[in-house]
Structures are given as C-alpha cells and as structure tokens.
Amino acid sequence: MPADLSVRFIFPHAPVRPITVNGGMAMRGWYDIRSISIDENEDTAGIRDSASILAGLIDDEVAKEILPAKIVLAGFSQGGAIALFQGLRHPERLAGILALSTYLPIPDILMSEASGHTAGLSVFMGHGTQDPIVPLQLGEQTREILVARGLEVEWKTYPMGHSITQDEVLDIGRWLRDVLSC
C-alpha cells in the first residue's frame, strides 16, 4: 500500500460453533455447513447472525468518522460469503468487497434484500481453479449474478486449491489501492 494511503485493517474471528460436516465439532465458522455441497441446505440464521457482527463492525468505524465509502469488506471462504452478504445489503455504499475463494450465500434471499447502492460497486473475486472446498463453478455463478446486478466485478483465477497465492496478493494490493484512492 502506498505510504500516503491511510488504512486500518480489522480482522474479526468467526465465532466458535458446531459445524455439521465436521461431525458437529465446535470450531470457528461464520455459519454451519450442513452438507458437502456448501450451497445446499444453507444456515440462513447463522449467515444472518454473522452478517450482524459485520454490520456492527461497520457501525463502529462509522462512529469513528470513517465514511462507509472508505470501507472495504473482505473475506476468504466463509468470510468472503459473509462479506458479500453484508456488503450487498448494507444501506450505504461501501468502497468495495474483496471476496476470495467464496460464493454468494442464499442468493435468492440476498438479491431480494440487496441495497439500492450496489450498482457500480467494486468487487474483487479471486478463486483457485482446483478449489476442492468451494468449487470454481460457485465462484463463477456468483460473478455472473453480481455482474447482472450492475456491480463492477474484477474476476481472477489462479492455479491453486482453496488457498491464496503471491500473485493473488499482488492483485489484491493493486485493487485496494484503486478503490481506496478515490
């Protein structure tokens, strides 16, 4: 990031909750995953609860006089799903959404609740072409939904699984500079 770009990063941890696909073991998760196909039988209540946590963090920053238009929501996997869910529903326009190796949760509900401030919203999506956890197809479907809704989606794929590469980090840095320098 450029030295003259003032940025604060906040990295919240997902709450500990039972995750069905892991035998009900309590672990960090933004919502329960009930099926190997992560986009089936989604935990709507858990998604909404986690989005409320994120909304509270946004409210905290706004109380510190940070404009919503200078806030980027970001996340990987479940965190990316929650960033998309809350970012698209937030009543004020945000700077952007960074969504890595993820998908759009409960898309029918989300699209009916999406804010009127999403047209032209900048979204960076990065996804591994060999992701065994969140199939590339789910990321592509998410991109198509967002583009159809009028969002500006920068879509990048990388030769990797469910992870992050140095090339992706460089692309993220460039995208962040662009959306936060406005």
Which of 32, 39, 43, 131 is flagged as catalytic?
131
Active site residue 167: no
Catalytic residue among 32, 50, 77, 127: 77
Q: Are 125 and 155 in contact (CB under 8 A)?
A: yes
Would residue 127 show up in a list of annotated catalytic residues for this protein?
A: no
Count of Cβ atoms closer than 10 Å to residue 40 Cβ? 9
**Options 49, 115, 117, 162, the catalytic residue:** 162
Identify whether the C-beta of residue 156 lies closer than 8 Å to the C-beta of residue 173.
no
**Quick one: 160 exposed, middle or buried, by C-beta within 10 A (0-12, 13-18, 19+)?**
middle
Burial of 82 (0-12, 13-18, 19+ CB in 10 A): buried
Say whether 43 is catalytic. Answer: no
**157 phi/psi in degrees, rounded to 5:** -115, 155
Catalogue the active-site residues.
77, 131, 162
